[in-house]
């Protein structure tokens, strides 16, 4: 077997080096292109998640034989005009309850539906306020922050109630609206109690673990990319939405946590951790139900009974 001469080997070395350099350049270019594509996808999906289209209202209190009044009011920060309904109690009002709906929805909160629950509460002599958060339903705005700016909307609703109805104020929130109700109640001392149905307890932690549920993208590399890109583009600061810390400011006012055991969108451990911080005044109903914000749909009578009992105690009844 003949061996190649040293001269031939020396001539092949530059060719091999050139081939290696070319391969490294190609790998580098592919990595850069992949990064650009991932950044582009992350920015596009993140932008859409924070700018969902308004869902139109397809029902009204009249469909439930409820008396109501159209209302509008500014958010506390004055950034947007919000639209909603005021549903007066059947008799002398015990309290005014403000509903806070979930992400990418509107005041109807169709998972329940909210108008059915509102009718039951009106029949129990509670006023009910239902409204659309910014960038939802009939309200102004084009950005959804999952709690940060929505807090200003809920504070605006509280301002409207204080200006028109002197009764005590309670909050009932669902999903994003539940988390928003908790961080709002921490600031609004006039809120006497909160029903929080299926909240997350820390927006940064929740998105880090669960953003792929909403983005429909693999967790890596897209979740960290979206969380890095979107805040400077939108002004959203996820660290300002921390219900787990807010419950310490709500205490000793009571909170009723409701969370389905089979919730895969926002696991029930989120509510459990907040409940355990102040079990002496907080309560937790954890029904064996599959899905997200499905407890009322599956158990409307028990759900209503628990909510009415909770607020009756605060109203002095």
Task: Dump pLDDT digits (tens) for 265-296.
Answer: 999 999 999 999 999 999 999 999 999 999 99
Give the three-state DSSP class for 92: coil
Q: Which residues, other chains included, contact 208 with Cβ-Cβ below 8 Å and sequence gap of 6+?
A: 223, 227
Count other Cβ atoms within 10 Å, centred on residue 283. 15
CA distance 12 to 89: 91
pTM for the whole structure? 0.92
Q: How far apart are CA 47 and CA 205, in angstroms?
A: 20
* Closest by CA position to 108, among listed 118, 96, 97: 118
List pLDDT tens digits, range 178-190.
999 999 999 999 9
| Phi, psi (deg, nearest 5) at residue 121 | -75, -40
Q: Is the pLDDT of residue 8 over 60?
A: no
Residue 50 has pLDDT above 90, yes or no: yes
Choose among 67, 44, 39, 68: nearest CA to 215.
44
Angstrom distance (rounded) from CA 286 to CA 272: 9
CB 84 within 8 A of CB 157: yes
Contact 206, 176 (CB under 8 A): no
Regarding predicted confidence, which is higher, 239 or 35? 239
By the 8 A CB rule, do 223 and 210 touch? Answer: no
Predicted pLDDT at 25: 86
- Give all domains of the chain, ordered by start, each with its CATH number: 1-50+214-235 (no CATH), 61-202+241-315 (3.40.50.1820)
**What local confidence, expressed as pLDDT, does residue 235 receive?**
95
Asked whether the predicted pLDDT for residue 13 surpasses 70, the reply is: no
Instruction: Answer yes or no: is pLDDT of 250 > 60.
Output: yes
What are 313's two structure tokens?
């105690």
pLDDT at 21: 82
Tell whether the model's pLDDT for residue 3 goes beyond 80: no
What pLDDT is attached to residue 1?
45
pLDDT band, very low/low/confident/very high, at 47 (cuts 50, 70, 90)? very high
């Amino acid at each position: 077997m003949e061996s190649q001469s040293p001269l031939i080997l020396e001539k092949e070395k530059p060719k091999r080096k050139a081939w290696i350099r070319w391969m490294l350049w190609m790998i580098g270019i592919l990595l850069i292109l992949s990064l650009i594509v991932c950044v582009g996808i992350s920015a596009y999906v993140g932008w859409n998640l924070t700018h969902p289209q308004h869902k139109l209202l397809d029902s009204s209190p009249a469909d439930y034989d409820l008396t109501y009044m159209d209302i509008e009011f500014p958010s506390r920060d004055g950034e947007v005009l919000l639209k909603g309904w005021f549903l007066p109690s059947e008799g002398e009002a015990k309290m005014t309850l403000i509903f806070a709906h979930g992400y990418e929805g509107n005041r109807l909160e169709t998972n329940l539906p909210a108008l059915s629950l509102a009718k039951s509460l009106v029949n129990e002599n509670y006023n009910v306020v239902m409204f659309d958060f910014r960038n939802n339903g009939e309200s102004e705005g084009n950005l959804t922050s999952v709690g940060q700016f929505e807090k200003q909307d809920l504070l605006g609703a509280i301002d409207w109630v204080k200006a028109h109805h002197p009764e005590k104020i309670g909050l009932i929130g669902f999903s994003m609206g539940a988390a928003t109700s908790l961080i709002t109640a921490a600031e609004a001392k006039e809120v006497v109690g909160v029903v929080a149905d299926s909240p997350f307890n820390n927006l940064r932690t929740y998105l880090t673990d669960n953003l792929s549920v909403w983005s429909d993208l693999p967790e890596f590399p897209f979740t960290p990319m979206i969380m890095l890109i979107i805040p400077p583009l939108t002004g959203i600061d996820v660290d300002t939405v921390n219900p787990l810390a807010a419950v310490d400011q709500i205490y000793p006012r009571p909170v009723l946590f409701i969370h389905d055991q089979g919730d895969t969108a926002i696991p029930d451990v989120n509510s459990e951790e907040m409940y355990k911080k102040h079990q002496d005044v907080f309560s937790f109903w954890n029904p064996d139900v599959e899905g997200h914000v499905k407890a009322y749909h599956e158990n409307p009578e028990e759900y209503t009974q628990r909510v009415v009992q909770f607020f009756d105690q605060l109203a002095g009844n």
